[in-house]
Structure 1
Amino acid sequence: MGIHNKISDYLGKVKQICRKWLRKEMKKFALIVAGGSGIRMGMEVPKQFLVLAGKPLLMHTIETFVSYDPDIEIIIVLPSSQIAYWDELCHQHGFRHKLNVVEGGPFRFFSVKNGLDSISEEGIVFIHDGVRPLVTFETIRRCYETAMEKGNAIPVIPVSESVRWLGDQGNEILDRNRVRLIQTPQTFRISLIKKAYDLPYDEKFTDDASVLENAGHEIYLTEGNRENIKITWPEDMETAERFLMKTFR
């Protein structure tokens, strides 16, 4: 074996050791943003509190991450007006998972920032929509592993239908093979995403990836899961109910 091959082999082993060490040492946080309303659901109750398979939807979301890793630290971001109601629901359902409840802001950007500001350690943070209870362990694992290696991981799924772009002068077909639907948990090294959230708010920030991208970082995509829908419409609740009835976590 030549000297260059020996050096390459040695560096490869060093990288493997470093990756194993990081996987062992990096703490996990799930920052679950739950500031939705029930308007599009036609409900007065905020959608994260709607009952799904016997308990509030948000509890299913939390339990998914706790089941994935019992040592994960859970941070829930709620509007200040909903925190007392959430405490009441936890009491009613005997929901005793250790949580850090943080008050949200006027927009999602500020809610996430408040949640990130509550974290004082380095590690990996999963930023997740509270109304996505059907994310799988496999998706969470892929996000974690990619973020460990690349610094960030954004779960996506392919588009199955035709897509058209609406412009000022009309509309045009897009190549759906080059389009992806974005999901959560959008996953990051904590120091990286906290620094990105020092940017001033911009209405073009539609998700956490767009914040990191505007801070000058490349975005890395990973495979999501189709069941991981964001519950928005009444029929979404029916879909989620059916899925939970046939799935054992």
Structure 2
Amino acid sequence: MGEKIAAIVLAAGEGKRMGSGIPKQYMLIKSRPLVYYALKAFEESAVDEVILVTGEDEIDYCKEYIVDRYHFNKVKKIVPGGWERYASVYFGLEAIEDADYVLIHDGARPMISAELIQKCIYYVKKYRACVVGMPSKDTIKVVDEENYAIRTPERKTLWQVQTPQCFEFDLVKKAYEKMMENDDGKVTDDAMVVETYGNVPVKLFEGGYDNIKVTTPEDVRLATNLVRVRKVFHKLHVLHDKLIYLQMKAYKKRFREKKQKK
């Protein structure tokens, strides 16, 4: 049997910065809930199972109106999230019964693709712990309590970290268990948990600047445009493949006709 790969999709946030009456993961992007796009990418990937983490009172809604409606058969469990992101990840890890690797992804990042997931699988098998990110394009300032700049890190050493964040399952599970035992709520991402409690270096590799996290109303507009562009490119790709197919078909027909004349 091959190695088993699981994914955790986090969709338990309240989305306070969005200023909307509904959680951001259910806001519509091109007539689909935001979390739909991440689940669709994992459904079309080499991942074996998906654990969806959401609000406790939203589990039935997710099952009926998202998982069942869009036939996301790889979603094996829908579990309630925790008081913070790290707790939701921990509960997601607890729900996985058996896996060799796990990819942890924010459901509010709709631009993930099956191709990026395949890249994640390649790197996690090679490095044990890796995360998607991109080199920072902006100068970053470290500020004091009054927002005065006190230091400017060298930009070439800075990356913007994204998701998926990918790990050997046993490695990240044990690291999270140690973190929970220490009641350490200062961690900001899964890589930090593994760095601190797993003592394993985390490899960064490039995803894409379009792999945005939808957090504000401006992000919704940007995500809508990105989804629209992706659909257009997909249609053009399909059209291109069809044209190539027709050209090859016509070529083979002419070849057979010439052969028959001889």
Q: Is the 8 A contact 2:100 2:169 kept in 1?
A: yes
Asked whether 1:62 is paired with 2:44, we answer: no
Q: Which of 29, 32, 36 matches 2:9? A: 32
By how many angstroms is 1:211 displaced?
0.6
Counterpart position of 1:12: none
User: Deviation of residue 177 (structure 1)?
Assistant: 1.1
Of the candidates 81, 85, 108, which is equivalent to residue 108 of structure 1?
Answer: 85
The whole-number CA distance in structure 1 between the counterparts of 2:114 and 2:54 is: 24
TM-score under structure 2 length normalisation: 0.80
Partner of 1:175: 154
How many percent identity over aligned positions?
31
* CA distance in structure 1 between the aligned counterparts of 2:174 and 2:69, rounded to whole angstroms: 37
TM-score w.r.t. length of structure 1: 0.84
1:208 alignment counterpart: 190
**Could you tell me which residue of structure 2 aligns to residue 224 of structure 1?**
207
What letter matches 1:94 in structure 2?
R
Structure 1 residue 86 displacement after superposition: 2.1
* Cα deviation, residue 48, structure 1: 0.2
Q: Compute the displacement of 1:51 (Å).
A: 0.6
Give the 3-state SS of the residue equivalent to 1:26 in structure 2: coil
| Cα distance change, pair 161–219 in 1 and its aligned pair in 2 (3 A) | same
Paired residue for 1:89? 65
C-alpha distance 195-94 of structure 1, shift in aligned 2 (>3 A): same
- CA change 1:247–1:27 in 2 (3 A) is same
Q: Which residue of 2 aligns with 1:17?
A: none
Q: Distance in 2 between matches of 1:239 and 1:86?
A: 24
Question: Whose Rg is larger?
Answer: 2
Deviation at 1:151, TM superposition (A): 0.7
Amino acid at match of 1:96: H
> 214-223 or 81-90: which moved more?
81-90
Higher mean C-alpha deviation, range 209-218 or range 24-33: 24-33
Note the alpha carbon deviations across 1:98-134, whole angstroms, 9 max, x for none.
2210111112112111111111213221100010010
Q: Aligned partners of 2:30 and 2:194: how far apart in 1?
A: 36
Verify the 8 A CA contact 1:57 1:131 in the aligned structure 2.
Answer: yes
Question: Which residue of 154, 162, 167 corresponds with 1:188?
Answer: 167
Q: Equivalent residue for 1:244? A: 227
1:237 maps to a residue whose letter is V
Q: Deviations over 1:173-224 (max 9, x none)?
A: 2211111000000001111111111113312211101110111121111112
Alignment: residue pair count: 224
SS of the aligned residue for 2:97 comes to coil
Structure (1/2) with the larger helix percentage: 2
Structure 1: which 5+ runs fail to align? 1-23
Q: Distance in 1 between matches of 2:145 and 2:53?
A: 38
Q: Structure 2: which 5+ residue stretches go unaligned?
A: 235-262
> 1: CA distance between counterparts of 2:36 and 2:48?
15
Q: How many Å apart are 1:38 and its aligned residue?
A: 3.3
Q: Post-superposition shift, 1:25? A: 1.4
Question: Alignment RMSD, CA only?
Answer: 1.9
Cα distance in 1 for partners of 2:134, 2:224 equals 21
8 Å Cα contact 1:136-1:228 kept in structure 2: no
After TM superposition, give the deviation of residue 143 of structure 1 in Å. 1.7
Answer yes or no: is the 8 Å Cα contact 2:12–2:80 preserved in 1. Answer: no
1:74 equivalent to 2:47? Answer no
Aligned mates of 1:235, 1:189 — CA distance in 2: 35
Tell me which residue corresponds to 1:146: 123
Counterpart of 1:197, as a letter, is: Y
Checking the alignment, whether the CA contact within 8 Å between 1:142 and 1:223 is kept in structure 2 is no
